[in-house]
Amino acid sequence: MTEKKVFSTTELAKILGISRIAVYKRIKKGQIKAIKYGRDFVIERKDMGDILQKELTEAQKKEIDQAVRKTVKEYGETLKLLGRT
């Protein structure tokens, strides 16, 4: 099975957890790079990394990393046991 090379605005909206209208607005503002395809837009896979990384600030990424480390430290054994089921 081959990987998708482009995503629709609907698919991107689901991935980002926002409305399709919000995706269109970001495309119009230039925040999301898209290609006009008929009456709609498509977003190339190669541009998805940039889009997804822009969603989190550095502070948010650091906070998530700290939370994951704390969880693994406190619940590591439980997580290992859960992973075996």
* pLDDT for position 26: 92
Query: Do 10 and 29 sit in the same domain of this protein?
Result: yes
Q: Are 45 and 4 in contact (CB under 8 A)?
A: yes
**Is residue 29 classed exposed, middle or buried when 0-12, 13-18 and 19+ CB atoms within 10 A define those classes?**
exposed
Whether 25 shows a pLDDT value over 90: the answer reads yes
Tens digits of per-residue pLDDT, 51-62? 766 666 777 678
Q: Judge if 39 and 62 occupy the same domain.
A: no
pLDDT of 53 reads: 65
- Shared domain for 2 and 17, answered yes or no, is yes
Average pLDDT, the chain: 84
Q: How many domains, in total, are found in the chain?
A: 2
Structural domain including 65 reads 57-85
Q: Are the C-beta atoms of residues 54 and 71 closer than 8 Å to each other?
A: no
The reply to whether 35 and 46 lie within a common domain is: yes
**Same-domain pairing of 11 and 46:** yes
Q: Quick check: 32 and 12 in contact, CB under 8 A?
A: yes
**Weakest-pLDDT range from 5-9, 25-29, 67-71:** 67-71
The CA radius of gyration of the chain, in Å to the nearest whole number, is: 18
Pairing assessment for the beta strands 35-37 and 40-44 based on DSSP bridges: antiparallel
pTM for this prediction? 0.57
Place of tokens 């689901």: 14
Same domain, 26 and 47: yes
